[in-house]
Structures are given as structure tokens and as C-alpha cells.
Structure 1
Amino acid sequence: MADPTALPLVSVICLCYNHERFIAEALDSVLAQTYPNLEIIIMDDCSTDNSVAVIQEYVRQYPQLTFLSTGTNQGNTRAFNLAWRASKGAYVIDFATDDVLLPERVAQQVAAFEKLDDTYGVVYSDAEYIDDEGRHVRFHYKRNQRGEVISFAPSGDIFQHLLGRYFICPPTMMMKRQVFEELQGYDETLAYEDFDFWVRSSRRYKYFFLDAITTKRRLHANSLSKQLYKPGDRQLTSTVLVCRKATKLVQSAGEKSALTRRLQYEARHAYLTGHYQQAEQFLDLLRQHAGLGPVYRTLHLINKLKVDLRFLRILYQKILRR
């Protein structure tokens, strides 16, 4: 039998904050991985529910688990950085403990990485969305009747694509340790990490799409993505900061055009959710980056006046749900 330690070490960083309802299933899914050379680190960000008691019971049963705590609530980006800096794996997975890994996840992604050259830093894949009770909702990518992915899922140099649109399901990513070392981890000033990581890492490294469903991503009311555009949410301000970084990274006309579309999109949605300050910031970036055409000059004016048109976005969403 082959020595498991001859295979690359993979660090699975299990981030927990008030995941008492889901953490047992999440940890079971990590322990059930068919890949034999794993480092499993559980980082609790000062949960206020019964999560820590569940984690402690798992650590008692499975001594290969490492349990860390932030001491005080730090937020996702800081909690993850503490954990990955304590890890040793050649590859890293950022795993929220309300999600589920399918048994072949790590083995499939390591096998994909081992076939790629050193210019690749991230492997991502398809995911199944599930609800609070674990029931199927949908898959991240659309497929035809033959099971082939027909959604946008590129490989290679995808910096321009990542500027212009969302298409990666974040919990499906496996990343080289070298990427984190060069980027010095996540930006801890931000409320969320995905967009910033994509922009900074894809400027330096290629991405590979693995055509496999490797992860179950849970959709529930308390998830971070559900807070976007709600009053007081810090994610929109973080998006402004990432877009500001991106303006300094674009190098081609195509990349400039993609970022222009992003800024236009973010400005519209910030305005139509009543986030007038952030809308102003996006519009200011757009003005500096590409200029304001007639539509966005008008948007700039009505945003200044705080004309409340939030009902238009609500109406549009109702039409989409029909």
C-alpha cells in the first residue's frame, strides 16, 4: 500500500461561527474524504451557540483534528488567516462548516492540480445548493440533457472574466499554498474575501475548472451572501475597496471594459437598494476609470438627490420569480 504522506498534504480549514445545526454533518464530510493525506483545522470564531461543544466532542473522538479559537469574534477574513498560517498543506481549502464536501472532493482536485503546470493556482468546480434541511435546491452550473456544462466556466487566464461577472462557487475552490503566501492571505480590512481573492490571485495565476460536483453549499437565512444589500451590511463597502484595487491592476482594453461593466452593475444595485453613499463611490470610480455616459450622469444626479426607486428592483425580482 502506498505511503499516504508521499501525496501532497491538503489543509482543510473548517471555519465555524454559530453552525451548531450543521457542523456535525460538515465535519463528517471532511473525515469521510477518500484522500488520505489531510490536515484538518477547525477554527471557531467565538460562536455563541453550542458549536464549541460539538467541536470538542469531535476532537475527543478524532485526535487528528486540530481545534483553534479566535478568542474574540474576528470575522471570516481574520479567522481564516489565523488558521491557514497555522497550517502546513501544499493545497488549502476554505471550508465553512455549514457546507458539505462530497467524499471524492479532495482526491479529484489534487489529481487535477497534479496534471497542471506551475502557472495554475486555483481549481474550482460545480456545486449542489441545498436548503437548511439538506434538500436539493439546484446546481451552480446549468447542464444540457447530456450532462455537459452549458454555463460559463472558463479555465486559464480568467482575470478579465472575474472582473466582469460572477461565475465561481467559492466553497468549491482548492488553492495552492503559494498563492496565499504571495498575497499574504485574505485582506483583513474586508467583510468578505471572495471577490478580492479572485481579483488579486487571478492577476498572477491561472484557474482550472474541474467538471465535477464536489461540494454541497447550504443556502440559509443567516449566510453571509444573504446579507448583501441589506441595511448596514459591510460587504458593499468592501466591494468598493476591491474595485478600487482592480482599477490599478487592469492592463488591456478588454480588462478595462470588463471593469467598467462591473462598476456600472455595482452602482446600479447600490442605488436601487438605497445605498447612496456606496453608489456615489462606485460612480466616482466609474468616472475616473471610463467616464460617465448620459445614463450614469443621470444616475449620479438622482443618487445625489436620494430619489428612492427601490421599488423598481423589488418589482424586477418579483417578475423574475414568476
Structure 2
Amino acid sequence: MKEKENPLVTVILTAYNQEKYIGDTLASVFDQTYPNLELIVIDNASADDTLAVIQTFKNPSRNFSLVKNRKNSGLCAAFNYGLSIAKGKYVIDLSGDDVLMPDRIEKQVAAFELLPENYAVIFSNAQYIDPAGKKLGNHYAVDAHGSAVRPIPSGDVYKNVLERYFICTPTMMMRTSTMLELGGYDETLTFEDFDFWVRSAAKFQYFYLDEILTQKRIVPSSLSSMVYKKGSGMLASYYAVCNKAYDLNRDQQEFDLLAARIRTFIRKCWYAQEYELAVRFRVLLNYIENPGWQTELVVLMCRLHLPVNFAYLFYIKNLKKALGQEGFSF
């Protein structure tokens, strides 16, 4: 098949201590129905047998590069290095514990090739699985035909990105040229997705492909479970992204949505006992609108360092445990 008809797709797989799952992840890449793939695996100095499992998949017939980091450079820096050497027209950021459905890349490329150049991202539905591979549910609820039961934002999604978490990160396929134009991921942050969504959606369009094309594994060490851990850097990264969004906003509705999101982060700062950060969020909020008495009360409790959030944390922990959704966002 011609390159023009089947453009090269680069899968950048970042791995760290995922020996239990990375075999399934790699197999799902090599089992793709799409023929023109480049795989770049970056091992972030794993201390377990992750690297040994990766080595078993090395084969001269495969377009497969392996980068062995001597120290854990973080997800964002590892991905950016992979992006710097990627040759594909499109790129996928894949974690070492998620799984691609066999026809995922074929279907996403086919959709991308029909879209104008101002579309930077295609995303899809996902199925959640537990560490053992048991199905937990879907990112978007589906009907009997496997279609999402509610409309999913598509096109200009910037307002939706400001309002709430709705994109399942590992389902995304991105236009490589756009990633390079944006400078890749921000390596000063502890996560990549919210920042990337804000920066890219402000300039480019997104397309939702309504199929379940990825399995996202939910494990206790998922990054989203760290947001309430003091000193994790998660909330500090959210603060940095909110400042970027403030500069990128285009109308009053977007400022209103950002203000509402900042209020949720102030509460999360209180829950995580990130008291000084809550005050900084409050200053940013004040540039948009009057914080109001309820937010001011939360900030006052933060200024007084009142650790009265244990009941909430206990509730969140046990709710997630009951749902089997330790990695889901709340």
C-alpha cells in the first residue's frame, strides 16, 4: 500500500515499572490492522522487569526503537523526546498499561484523513479495565449498538475543556505537526492532558470518533489518585494551566467557565491541605470575578490551616473503592 494512502503513525509508549501490563500493551500495538506503524518505547528507568519484557518484543522486522533512560525524566519529558524523533504524520501517546483495540489506528487514521488541517486531535470512547483485565465500564455510557447515549463535544471544544474533564486521554491520536508547533508537553508540569487540551483546543479543532477503541487500565497508582496528596505537584500544575487559560480565553463565557473550575481547585487545595496554593488560586479568581462568601470561607479556613477535611477524604476514598474506580476523576 502506498504511503500516501497509509501515512506513517508513531506510537510513543512511555513505561515505568509496568512489568505486569506492558506485554499486553505491546502486543496490542503489534496486533494492529493498520500496516504503517512506528513504535518508540521509552523506559523511564524502571526498577522492575519492565525492560526485560520490552526486550522480548524486539524484532528486526518491526519498526521499533527502544530508549533506555538512566533516570526517570517524567512522562512529559519522555514523551517529548519521543516526539523529537518521531517520523509519523500522526502520533499516539500510549501508557505502558493501556491496550489498543486491533482496529483503533486504522479507524482513527481513516477519520483523520478526511478532516481539514485545523483538526489536531481525534479522540474516542474507552473501556475501563481493572489490573486483572476485568471490564469495569465505559468512559461514555453506550446504547445497545455501542454508540454514546449522550452527545460528545466535537469541533471547537475549548469551552468544554474549561468546564470539565470529558476526554479519555489514551484514546487520542494527534497531528504531529500540531504537537511540534505547540512545543510538545510542558515539562514543568506533573501531567500532560489538561495543559495540552487548553493550549491545543484554543487554536485547533477536535473530532470525536464514536467507537470504543482503547482499554484504559485503572490501577491504584494512577496519577489522578494523587490530586489529594499534599505535595504531589498536581494542584500546582493545575494552577499553572489555569493561568495559561486566563491568557488564552476569548470571551466572557470562557472566563465564567474558568472561574467555576478555579473554585473547584480551591476546594481541592483545602482537601489536600495545600493551603498557600488555595490563596494563589483565589487571587487568580479575583481577576475574573468576586470570589463570593462561600469561596472566601474556604480560603479563610486555608489561611487558618484548619484540617477539617478528613471526613471528605474518607468519603472519596471509600466511594472509589466501592465503585472499583480508584483512578477515575472526581
1:160-218 deviation per Cα after TM superposition (whole angstroms, max 9, x unaligned): 11011000000000000111111111001111100000000001100011000010000
Q: Which amino acid letter does the alignment assign opposite residue 171 of structure 2?
A: T
Range 86-95 or range 273-282, more displaced:
273-282
> What's 2:255 paired with?
256
2:288 paired with 1:289: yes
Range 117-126 or range 284-293, more displaced:
284-293
Q: Is the 8 A contact 1:276 1:304 kept in 2?
A: yes
Range 6-15 or range 60-69, more displaced:
60-69
2:18 paired with 1:19: yes
Q: Which amino acid letter does the alignment assign opposite residue 56 of structure 1?
A: Q
> What's 1:156 paired with?
155
Q: Is the 8 A contact 2:228 2:271 kept in 1?
A: no
2:56 paired with 1:47: no
Look up the SS of the partner of 2:128 in the other structure. Answer: strand
User: Following TM superposition, by how much is the alpha carbon of 1:316 offset from its aligned partner in structure 2, in angstroms?
Assistant: 4.9
Distance of aligned partners of 1:57 and 1:147 in 2 relative to their CA distance in 1, 3 Å threshold: closer
> What's 2:182 paired with?
183
> What's 2:119 paired with?
120
> What's 1:82 paired with?
81
Q: How does 1:222-237 map to 2 (within 5 A)?
A: 222-237=221-236
Q: How does 1:196-207 map to 2 (within 5 A)?
A: 196-207=195-206
Q: Is the 8 A contact 2:227 2:272 kept in 1?
A: no
Q: 2: distance between equivalents of 1:23 and 1:291?
A: 48
> What's 2:193 paired with?
194
> What's 2:327 paired with?
none
1:50-71 deviation per Cα after TM superposition (whole angstroms, max 9, x unaligned): 1111112211475431111233
Q: Is the 8 A contact 1:95 1:171 kept in 2?
A: yes
Q: 2: distance between equivalents of 1:11 and 1:34?
A: 15
Q: 2: distance between equivalents of 1:58 and 1:289?
A: 52
User: Following TM superposition, by how much is the alpha carbon of 1:151 offset from its aligned partner in structure 2, in angstroms?
Assistant: 4.2
Q: 2: distance between equivalents of 1:170 and 1:152?
A: 18
User: Following TM superposition, by how much is the alpha carbon of 1:99 offset from its aligned partner in structure 2, in angstroms?
Assistant: 0.5
User: Following TM superposition, by how much is the alpha carbon of 1:137 offset from its aligned partner in structure 2, in angstroms?
Assistant: 0.8
Q: How does 1:29-48 map to 2 (within 5 A)?
A: 29-48=28-47
Q: Which amino acid letter does the alignment assign opposite residue 313 of structure 2?
A: I
Q: 1: distance between equivalents of 2:8 and 2:139?
A: 28
> What's 1:141 paired with?
140
Q: Is the 8 A contact 1:124 1:172 kept in 2?
A: yes
| Number of residue-to-residue matches in the alignment | 321
Q: Is the 8 A contact 1:76 1:192 kept in 2?
A: yes
Distance of aligned partners of 1:146 and 1:39 in 2 relative to their CA distance in 1, 3 Å threshold: closer
> What's 1:238 paired with?
237
> What's 1:272 paired with?
271
Q: Is the 8 A contact 1:273 1:313 kept in 2?
A: no
Q: Is the 8 A contact 1:30 1:101 kept in 2?
A: yes
Q: Is the 8 A contact 2:146 2:211 kept in 1?
A: no
1:241-296 deviation per Cα after TM superposition (whole angstroms, max 9, x unaligned): 11111111111111111101110111112212322122222212111222211211
User: Following TM superposition, by how much is the alpha carbon of 1:312 offset from its aligned partner in structure 2, in angstroms?
Assistant: 4.2
> What's 2:305 paired with?
306
> What's 2:170 paired with?
171
Q: 2: distance between equivalents of 1:303 and 1:252?
A: 31
Q: Is the 8 A contact 1:5 1:37 kept in 2?
A: no
C-alpha RMSD of matched pairs (Å):
1.8
2:87 paired with 1:94: no
Look up the SS of the partner of 1:3 in the other structure. Answer: coil
Unaligned regions of 5+ residues in structure 1, if any?
A: none
User: Following TM superposition, by how much is the alpha carbon of 1:150 offset from its aligned partner in structure 2, in angstroms?
Assistant: 2.8
Look up the SS of the partner of 1:58 in the other structure. Answer: coil
Q: Which amino acid letter does the alignment assign opposite residue 72 of structure 2?
A: N
Q: Is the 8 A contact 1:109 1:174 kept in 2?
A: yes
Range 256-265 or range 231-240, more displaced:
231-240
Q: Is the 8 A contact 1:127 1:140 kept in 2?
A: yes
Q: Which amino acid letter does the alignment assign opposite residue 312 of structure 2?
A: R
> What's 2:129 paired with?
130
Look up the SS of the partner of 1:54 in the other structure. Answer: helix
Q: 1: distance between equivalents of 2:61 and 2:220?
A: 31
1:111-135 deviation per Cα after TM superposition (whole angstroms, max 9, x unaligned): 1111211121000000011011111
User: Following TM superposition, by how much is the alpha carbon of 1:33 offset from its aligned partner in structure 2, in angstroms?
Assistant: 0.4
Distance of aligned partners of 1:121 and 1:231 in 2 relative to their CA distance in 1, 3 Å threshold: same
